[in-house]
Structure 1
Amino acid sequence: MKTIKQLKSPFAFKAPKLSDDHKVERYFKSVPFYKPTELKEMKNLAKKLGVKELAVKDESSRFGINSFKGAGGLYAMGMCIAEKAGLDTDNLTYDDLMKPEVKEVAQKLTFYSATDGNHGRGIAWSASVLGTKAVIRMPKGSKQIRVEHIRKIQNTDVEITDKNYDNTVKEVEQMCQADPNGIMIQDTAWEGYEKIPGWIIKGYGLIVDEFLYQMEDKPTHIFLQAGVGSLAAGIVLGLEERMAPEELPVITVVEPETVACFYLSAEIGDGERHNLEGHTKTMMAGLNCQTPSIAAWPILRDSAKFYGTLSEDVDAQGMSVLAHPLADDPKVVSGESGAAGFAYIYEVLSNPELADKRKELGIDENSRIIVLSTEGDTDPDNYQEVVTDKRWLKD
């Protein structure tokens, strides 16, 4: 049975003190193979759902690795190498990283990371591009196809552990500590490990630069799926660096109903982050994270207006709607984690029984909504099974 939960944030909005330093834009514009991903306008669907604009930022083409993760990985890894080589990280360019003496430094390093799939693929790809090495470990239950995507990338050692995500992170941290040339590159942060996750978050601001330029007008609402929260935090920081507080869209953080650590933290409402115990499971593999990142939590806590959860059948419906567009709307191949933000708001807008949630969000005929499709068909077999299921084709 399709279920949606929605919680208004119990926390007061706190505008951060930020300056748009253009480091991220300058860095990526120096990368010779960089190009923006598409913003796909669902004009017919927007009209059907009674909103002014519904836009999907399709991250499946980001650097050819079928997800958004390359943006954070390439930026953070570049900053790590630059720091080791004694370069100026405030003005770093890709050409700086390609200098022989810098590549010599990179070749001696190994980057360690835990992943449910996309993050590890982004790190492995970034390592291959920058001439360094990667060691990737994945939690129990990870799909073999996700392992193979990573294993195909040169200079990468990847295995599945017998542990959940949080304990896999701890295992990788121990491996890294035993390597004198090892660097932990994780998209979650904890006490004493915040700088590199901060760079990853910063790198995702690139996505904001692109969609603000691509949209006809500023968005009024954005729905951001969260695992540990790094992408969502990066998008929020990117918006807050580029828009006045009164211009910011209504921000909703979306999670699977079975793994909703941000929702839990907001529900408890004491301002602290809270974790889920045990072995959690969801087909939205990239969102199967039990503890909010210490770097992401305060950003989202102080800026998000709502927290939402969705069941897997809601997510499946969203995947199918994007795969079978209305009239001449563009098709979006969006995987299980990739479709979560879209699936959530599609269910809210299309289900008459959820009119109260639509009203609470402040959505009307003038609303301009953007969501991120953060991955393509990273699990092709499951993707095909979902989007050909006749239950989701009835509309």
Structure 2
Amino acid sequence: MKKIQLLKSLFPFKAPKLENDHEVANFFNSVPFYKPTELKVMKNLAQELGVKEIAVKDESSRFGINSFKGAGGLYAMGCAIAEKAGLDLETLTFDQLMTPEVKKVAERITFYTATDGNHGRGIAWSASVLGSKAIIRMPKGSKQIRVENIRKIQNTEVEITDKNYDNTVKEVQELCAKDPNGIMIQDTAWDGYEKIPGWIVKGYSLIVEEFMKQMPEKPTHIFLQAGVGSLAAGIVLGLEERLAPEDLPTITVVEPETVACFYKSAEIGDGERHSIEGLTKTMMAGLNCQTPSVAAWPVLRDSAKFYGTLSEDTCAQGMSRLAHPVADDPKVVSGESGAAGFAYVYEILANPELAKDREALGLDENSRIVLLSTEGDTDPDNYRHIVDEENWF
């Protein structure tokens, strides 16, 4: 049964103190194989649902690895190598990382990470580009296709553990600590481990740089799916770099109903992070994270106006809607985690029983909504089953 929840934030807005992040855009503009991903405008769907604009940032083409993760991984790993080589991070270019001297530094490094799939694929790809090695562990229940997508990348070792995500992270920490040339490259931060996740978050601001140039007008609403929250935090910080507080879109954080650690933290309302215990399960594998990142939580707590959860079949309906667009709207191949933000707002706009949620969010004929399709069909069998075999419309 399709189901969503909506929770208005109890926390007051606090604008962060931001530094200029143009070094991120400058770095990627120096990468010879970089190009912006497409922003797909759903004009017919927007008209059908009674809003001004629905725009979907399709991250499936990012660096050819079927998800957005390469942006954060390449930038953070480039910074880690550059720091070891004594380079200035504020003026870092890709060419500097390709010099013989710096490549010798990179060759000695092994990057360690835990992943549900996309992050590990991004790290493995980035390591292959930069000339380093990667050791990757995945939690119990990870799909074999996600393992194989990582394993086929050169210089990468990957295994599935018998642990949940949080405990797999701990296992990787222990492995990395035993390697004098090891660097932990996790997209979640905890006390004492914040610099590298901060670089990953900054790398994701590239997505904002792109869609703000691609949209004819500023968005009024953005729905951001969250696992540990690094992508959502990167997008929020990127928006806050570029827009005055009064011009920011209404920010809603979206999670699977079975593993909604941001929703839980907001619902408890004490300002602290709270975890989901046990072995959690959702087909939205990239969002199956039980504890908010210590770096992402304060950003989202102080900026998001709403928190939401969605059921598996709500997500499946959104995937299918993107795969079977209205009239001549562009098709978006969006996987389970990728479609979560779109699926959430689609259900609110399409379901007349959710009029109160639509009103609470301020969604009307003037709304310009931007959404991130963060991955393509990273689980091809499940994707085909949902979009080809289920009759949603």
Does 2:216 correspond to 1:179? no
Match in the other structure for 1:142: 142
Quickly say closer, same or farther: Cα 1:111–1:168, change in 2 above 3 A: same
Distance 1:171 1:306 in 2: 34
Residue 276 of structure 1 aligns with an amino acid whose one-letter code is: I
Give matches, 1:311-326, under 5 Å.
Answer: 311-326=311-326
SS in 1 for 2:391: helix
1:126-165 equivalence runs, <5 A: 126-165=126-165
User: What secondary structure, in the 3-state scheme, does the structure 2 residue paired with 1:39 have?
Assistant: strand
User: How far is 1:216 from its partner?
Assistant: 1.1
Provide, for residues 69-95 of structure 1, a one-character-per-residue CA deviation record: whole Å limited to 9, x for no partner: 000000000000000011111110001
For 2:198 and 2:10, the matched residues in 1 are separated by 25
Rounded Cα–Cα distance in structure 1 between residues aligned with 2:43 and 2:219 = 15
Structure 2: how far apart are the matches of 1:139 and 1:224?
Answer: 24
1:14-163 paired onto structure 2 within 5 Å: 14-163=14-163
Unpaired runs of at least 5, structure 1: none
Look up the match of 1:360: 360
Q: Aligned equivalents of 2:178 and 2:299: distance in 1? A: 32
* CA deviations over 1:276-317 (Å, ceiling 9, x no partner): 110000000000000000000000000000000000000000
- Aligned-pair distance for 1:24? 0.3
1:381 matched residue in structure 2 = 381
Q: CA separation in 2, counterparts of 1:226 and 1:176? A: 26
After the TM superposition, which parts of structure 1 deviate over 2 Å for at least 4 consecutive aligned residues?
none
Shift of 1:218: 0.3
Segments of structure 2 that go 5 or more residues without pairing to the other structure are none
Deviations for 1:140-198, whole angstroms, at most 9, x for unmatched residues?
00000000000000000000000000000000000000000000000000010000000
Please tell me the residue identity of whatever aligns with 2:252. T
* 1:319-376: CA deviation from partner (whole Å, max 9, x where unpaired): 0000001000000000000000000000000000000000000011000000000000
Q: CA deviation at 1:20?
A: 2.4
In structure 1, C-alpha distance between the alignment counterparts of 2:391 and 2:265, rounded to whole Å = 34
Matched residue SS, 1:82: helix
Asked whether 1:280 is paired with 2:280, we answer yes
Q: In the alignment, which residue of structure 2 is the partner of 1:223?
A: 223
Rounded Cα–Cα distance in structure 2 between residues aligned with 1:229 and 1:329: 30
Displacement, 1:388?
1.5
Structure 1 CA distance for aligned equivalents of residues 43 and 276 of structure 2: 39
C-alpha contact 2:21 2:202 (8 A) present in aligned 1: no
Query: Counterpart of 2:390 in structure 1: which amino acid?
Result: K
Q: What is the alpha-carbon root mean square deviation over aligned residues? A: 0.5
Distance in 2, Cα, partners of 1:20 & 1:235 = 14
Give the whole-Å Cα distance in 1 for the aligned partners of 2:350 and 2:277: 34
Query: Are the equivalent residues in 1 in contact too, given 2:40–2:330 (CA < 8 A)?
Result: yes
- Specify the code of the residue in structure 2 equivalent to 1:388: D
User: What is aligned with 1:260?
Assistant: 260
Provide the residue aligned with 1:208 in structure 2.
Answer: 208
- Partners of 1:264 and 1:274 within 8 A in 2: yes
Q: CA deviation at 1:19?
A: 3.1
Equivalent residue letter for 1:390:
E
TM-score normalised per structure 2: 1.00
3-state secondary structure, aligned to 1:204: helix
Q: CA deviation at 1:233?
A: 0.2
Equivalent-residue separation in structure 1 for 2:89 and 2:149 (angstroms) = 31
For 1:224, the aligned partner's letter is L
Q: Which amino acid aligns with 1:27?
A: F
Partner letter of residue 189 of structure 1?
Answer: A
Measure, in 1, the Cα distance between the counterparts of 2:36 and 2:87: 27
- Cα distance in 1 for residues equivalent to 2:244 and 2:384: 42
Mapping of 1:334-373 within 5 angstroms? Answer: 334-373=334-373
Alignment partner, residue 11 of structure 2: 11
Contact 2:60 2:334 in 1 (8 A): yes
Displacement of 1:389 after TM fit?
3.0
**Do 1:20 and 1:242's aligned partners in 2 also have CA atoms closer than 8 Å?**
no
How far does residue 391 in structure 1 lie from its aligned partner after superposition?
A: 3.0
Structure 1 residue matching 2:96: 3-state secondary structure: helix
**Aligned match of 2:391:** 391
1:21 deviation in Å? Answer: 3.5
1:309 alignment partner, SS class = strand
Contact 1:140 1:160 in 2 (8 A): yes
Instruction: Find the residue that maps to 1:388 and give its secondary structure.
Output: helix
Secondary structure of the residue aligned to 2:56 is: strand
Distance 1:301 1:386 in 2: 33
Identical columns (%):
80
**Mapped partners of 2:91, 2:132: distance in 1:** 21
Give distance in 2, aligned partners of 1:253 and 1:215.
21
Q: CA deviation at 1:17?
A: 1.4
